Amino acid sequence: MNEKTTKDNIIDLASELRWQIGDNFHDKLTESIYTDAAEIASHAIENNSAPRNYPLDSRIDKIVTSRTWGFPIMIGILGVILWLTIEGANYPSGMLFTLLIEIFYPFLKGVSSQIGLAWWLDGILIDGIYMAAAWVIAVMLPPMAIFFPLFTLLEDFGYLPRVAFNMDAMFKKTGAHGKQALTMSMGWGCNAAGVIATRIIDSPRERLIAIITNNFSLCNGRWPTQILIATIFIGAIVPSSMSGLLASASVISIALLGVGFMFLTSWALTKTVLKGEVSTFTLELPPYRPPRFWQTVYTSIIDRTLIVLWRAIIFAAPAGALIWIVANVHIGDLTIANQLISSLNPFGLFLGLNGVILLAYIIAIPANEIVIPTILMLSVANLGIAGMGGGDGVMFELDSAMETGNILIAGGWTLLTGINLMLFSLLHNPCSTTIYTIYQETKSWQWTTLASILPVIMGFVVTFLVTQIWHLFS
């Protein structure tokens, strides 16, 4: 009993003293340690006045983390990567499309009719599952195979910690943790990975902010959607020589808009439900290392591209079957798809989207990767275009992008729909894997629900506002 009281006394004394010192004890202690370290180091380092020889690293750092050039360089690098992706994906995408959909699809249909497959089985297997998988591969593989190796090279070079360094001040201003810049960068690969990466953030408050706002980093599954829609709708409004540039610029704008929303949400959270002090941390800028080129390309294709593609196919295949079923099972005169789409359509149009997009986002909750293929399949099915995919054109070549665009335009799409889809692709619920990861990391249904619902609500608000403004000026 007596001993216990003494322990309680110590705790009481500690909180009393803490009160006296004020709440910046952590910073002051850190400062003292730094002062000591500097003193000891200055004693021990003998040739302190001799010129240090960190020539290249510090010269690069001076430029890429400078106030003037830091952000333009960041945007420039991202721009070059996206431009290379958009331009470079044209040709292989076209080849894949020809191979998988113009050659192999009719071949499968032929085989199926020869062996006398039942019409519904033929439909589910070939028009549903095969078509969804083929579409995912043709649409996603080429941009991913270019984008991921480039991004990984940048990561291995040591650039990402510099991004964190550049953005640290902004994070501090919003009341969030500077390391959130790192988890945000991880989120550009995969939001689930980004959420796990928030473990490096010390304070639970700041960690929650990082978890909730990670979804504003465009992920693997969403870059291809952005790139494709930008190519079809935004690239098409200028001459073809400029379209790649404009499309890249619009994708960058969306990515930066995401960063903006992340800051806004972080700030709003720190002002409302997650108030508190910002904690300090040390961020070391690791030495630049020339990446081992071929090894990086190889591992990023194996580790990232194929894994993401495989995940997309796994989710796309059943989704394809589901789409075929809802598009072919009639209730009354209309198919289930028709009914769902027309019931979602008023709300969709109200937001400047449409019923197909909303239905696609419901079907695609398991994986963002399949949104575009789902939209295309639903559009085709809903419009009753015969021979799904046959002669629909090649996605990334401008002529045929116009044909793909034609499917969408026949479905009532406009430039506004394209822009809104890009916005909604940025601002909607995380995929189911990420939602599950958020629950795993927070162990709280409340935060998980908030993290899932908040972006959708923001998406609805933003697309609605954009639509109103658009109608005002046109």
How many other C-beta atoms can be found within 10 angstroms of the C-beta atom of residue 258? 23
Q: Is 80 in the site for another protein (CB under 8 A)?
A: no
- Can you tell me the distance from the alpha carbon of 231 to that of 252, in angstroms, rounded to the nearest whole number? 13
**Cα-flanking dihedrals φ and ψ of residue 444, to 5°?**
-145, 125
Q: Which of 239, 287, 290, 384 binds another protein (CB under 8 A)?
A: 287
29 is an interface residue for another protein by CB under 8 A: yes
Task: Select from 36-44, 65-73, 219-227, 384-392 the region that touches another protein (CB under 8 A).
Answer: 36-44
Residue in this structure with the two tokens 């044909």, named with its chain if needed: 403
**199 contacts another protein (rule: CB under 8 A):** yes
DSSP state of 304: I
User: Closer to another protein at the Cβ: 38 or 121?
Assistant: 38
Q: Rounded CA gap, 344 and 369, in Å?
A: 22
| Choices 22-30, 63-71, 263-271, 297-305 (CB under 8 A): range interacting with another protein | 22-30
Q: Give, for 51, the enclosing helix (H) or strand (E).
A: none
303 near another protein (CB under 8 A): no
Measured from the CB atom, the residue of 64 and 372 that comes closer to another protein is 64
Restricted to residues 253-282, the positions that interact with another protein (CB under 8 A) are: 279, 281-282
Q: Nearest distance from residue 74's CB to another protein, in Å? A: 19
What is the four-CA torsion angle of 384, 389, 395, 398, rounded to 10 degrees? -70
Whichever of 40 and 457 has its CB closer to another protein, that residue is: 40
Mask of contacts with another protein, 43-72, x by CB under 8 A?
Answer: xxxxx--xxxxx------------------
Concatenated DSSP letters of 214-236:
GGGS--TTTHHHHHHHIIIIIGG
DSSP string of 268-288? HHHHTTT--PPPP-----PPP
8 A C-beta contact, residue 143 and residue 83:
no
Sign of CA dihedral 242, 244, 247, 252: negative
157 or 470: CB nearest another protein: 157
Output 28 or 172, the one with its CB closest to another protein: 28
- How far apart are CB 84 and another protein at their closest, in Å? 25
Stretch that binds another protein, among 30-38, 62-70, 129-137, 309-317 (CB under 8 A): 30-38
Of positions 32, 98, 113, 449, contacts another protein by CB under 8 A:
32
- 204 neighbors 275 (Cβ within 8 angstroms): no
Q: By CB under 8 A, name the binding residues for another protein.
A: 6-7, 9-11, 13-15, 17-18, 20-21, 25-26, 28-47, 50-54, 182, 197, 199-203, 279, 281-284, 286-287
